[in-house]
């Protein structure tokens, strides 16, 4: 706050599962001039749902916290949590709460969709992903099967960021990045897939237009927000695509994000198609691709092990031969939904610190295994790995990634990468630039550099062998 602007101001919004964040950013320098944040509520129980109206209210609150700076903005972009199903009636009012990405109730419908449309390989080749329960196509199938009256009352289907962009502009617009996570946008044709839509009973007229990269969604027309009327509104994108923009990624640059769940991704110039379903072949927000894999058990699982041992999360000891696969709540990558944690090689001389280190090793092993699939032919071991997310601040996480990857690691100083990526998209629209080039000019990927160290191949081989030998137990 209080910094002098060198260029026009833009607003980047991150509407996540738990909160909305807004940043007012200098489009030339990347300086953050103001910020705001407001929480969301997620209902628990059998499913994970949120009222879309609260996202709109939270957006207003977050923008209001930015003060006078937000009233000077020339462009805005909204990035949002992926995959959520927002159903609207003919008046544009939500029919029911949005079904969120982490709602697993559609699992049975997901399996049926995969089987009915040619199997996993056919989905991966045509659509770009194998539609697990997280993806929007499975959520719509679940709604039709379990709440037919709500499905019948639905006149429009949106993703979370689409909903906010439409309320900002009055225009039904999405982008290729977020659309690629629905399961009804085909990577092979870069358009909505008529056969999938017909199979799930969804009229294409109910879906938003897919804007081209760099195309505006419209201008601000909403009266109740402090944004200037007439300011440009970019098409927005999904949160993972925005984070890639926020880092200014070039093709082949790997990212490992350590949060409650863990993700690995990289920009690619080649369209991905993984028949195992490990890698989701998302499009990015620029015109390339963003293959991504996600694990369920990351920082939360390791923190739970630390709590069970009564140790600080940094109190690790390298050494010994104990192996842990900390799949405390099942796992998505590898796909072991019924798995529980597995410990192998426990001995009298195993220390609590070694057991905690084994939990770190198991979580990082799963992510690095997935990263190998994400990179494919682009795997260059000397390219630094960008380490982001809450876990990136931890010494034990960083050192474990270095030891098991053998790569140099960079921990970017920039925080709030999703909102920064959205701001870069708004700046790119305003200035006529590539948004990834904008963030490279801002220097968002600069940070602490950790040189490569020799890879711990013995630990890697123990982990791989335990996963293979324990497969029967893990599948129970």
Taking the C-alpha atoms of residue 223 and residue 20, their distance in angstroms, rounded to an integer, is 19
- Say which residues have a Cβ less than 8 Å from residue 378's Cβ, sequence separation at least 6: 251, 252, 266, 268
Alpha-carbon distances, residue 358 vs 123, 332, 345 (angstroms): 36, 20, 11
Find out whether 48 and 103 touch, Cβ atoms under 8 Å.
yes
Residue of 103, 239, 361, 456 marked active site: 239
In eight-state DSSP terms, residue 228 is P
SS3 of 280, please?
strand
- Say which residues have a Cβ less than 8 Å from residue 195's Cβ, sequence separation at least 6: 117
Find out whether 234 and 402 touch, Cβ atoms under 8 Å.
no
List the Cα angle 151/157/162 in 5-degree steps: 155
Q: Is 284 exposed, middle or buried (0-12, 13-18, 19+ CB in 10 A)?
A: buried
Find out whether 433 and 441 touch, Cβ atoms under 8 Å.
no
- Say which residues have a Cβ less than 8 Å from residue 6's Cβ, sequence separation at least 6: 26, 28, 29, 31
Of the candidates 206, 223, 261, 220, the one whose C-alpha atom is nearest the C-alpha of residue 239 is: 261
Of the candidates 419, 321, 447, 432, the one whose C-alpha atom is nearest the C-alpha of residue 30 is: 419
Q: How far apart are the first and last CA of the chain?
A: 54
CA atoms within 13 Å, Cβ hemisphere of 222: 20
- Say which residues have a Cβ less than 8 Å from residue 308's Cβ, sequence separation at least 6: none
CA atoms within 13 Å, Cβ hemisphere of 103: 31
**Helix, strand counts (H, E) of the chain:** 16, 24
In eight-state DSSP terms, residue 257 is E
Of the candidates 460, 467, 455, the one whose C-alpha atom is nearest the C-alpha of residue 344 is: 467
19-26/32-39 β-pairing: antiparallel
Taking the C-alpha atoms of residue 134 and residue 371, their distance in angstroms, rounded to an integer, is 20
Q: Among this protein's residues, is 175 annotated catalytic?
A: no
Task: Give catalytic residues, as residue numbers.
Answer: 239
């Amino acid at each position: 706050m209080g910094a002098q602007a060198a260029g026009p101001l833009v607003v980047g919004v991150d509407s996540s599962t738990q909160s909305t964040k807004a940043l007012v950013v200098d489009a030339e320098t990347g300086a953050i001039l103001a910020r705001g944040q407001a929480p969301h509520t997620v209902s628990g129980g059998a499913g994970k749902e949120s009222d879309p109206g609260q996202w709109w209210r939270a957006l207003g609150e977050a923008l209001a916290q930015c003060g006078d700076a937000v009233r000077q903005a020339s462009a805005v972009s909204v990035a949002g949590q992926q995959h959520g199903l927002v159903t609207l009636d003919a008046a544009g009012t939500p029919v029911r709460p949005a079904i969120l990405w982490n709602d697993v109730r559609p699992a049975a419908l997901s399996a049926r969709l995969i089987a009915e449309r040619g199997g996993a390989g056919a989905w991966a080749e045509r659509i770009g992903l194998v539609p697990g329960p997280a993806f929007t196509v499975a959520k719509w199938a679940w709604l039709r099967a379990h709440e037919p009256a709500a499905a019948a009352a639905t006149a429009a289907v949106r993703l979370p960021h689409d909903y906010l962009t439409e309320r900002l502009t009055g225009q039904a617009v999405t982008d290729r990045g977020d659309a690629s996570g629905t399961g009804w946008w085909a990577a092979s044709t870069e358009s909505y897939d008529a056969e999938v839509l017909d199979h799930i009973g969804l009229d294409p007229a109910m879906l938003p237009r897919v804007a081209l990269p760099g195309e505006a969604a419209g201008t601000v027309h909403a009266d109740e927000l402090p944004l200037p009327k007439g300011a440009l509104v970019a098409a927005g994108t999904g949160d993972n695509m925005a984070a890639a923009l926020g880092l200014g990624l070039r093709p082949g640059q790997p990212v490992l994000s350590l949060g409650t769940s863990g993700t690995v991704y990289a920009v690619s110039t080649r369209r991905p198609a993984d028949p195992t379903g490990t890698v989701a072949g998302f499009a990015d927000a620029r015109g390339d691709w963003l293959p991504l894999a996600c694990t369920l058990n990351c920082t939360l699982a390791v923190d739970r092990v630390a709590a069970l041992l009564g140790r600080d999360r940094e109190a690790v000891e390298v050494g010994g031969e104990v192996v842990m696969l900390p799949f405390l709540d099942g796992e998505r990558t590898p796909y072991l939904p019924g798995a529980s944690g597995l410990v192998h090689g426990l001995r009298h001389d195993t220390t609590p610190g070694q057991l905690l280190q084994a939990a770190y090793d198991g979580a990082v092993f799963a992510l690095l295994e997935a990263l190998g699939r994400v990179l494919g032919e682009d795997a260059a071991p000397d390219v630094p790995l960008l380490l982001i997310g809450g876990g990136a601040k931890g010494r034990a996480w960083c050192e474990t990634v270095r030891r098991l990857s053998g790569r140099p690691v960079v921990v970017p100083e920039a925080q709030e990468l999703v909102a920064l990526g959205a701001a870069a998209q708004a700046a790119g629209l305003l200035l006529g630039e590539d948004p990834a080039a904008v963030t490279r000019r801002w220097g968002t990927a600069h940070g602490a550099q950790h040189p490569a160290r020799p890879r711990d191949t013995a630990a890697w081989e123990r982990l791989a062998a335990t996963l293979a030998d324990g497969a029967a137990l893990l599948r129970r």
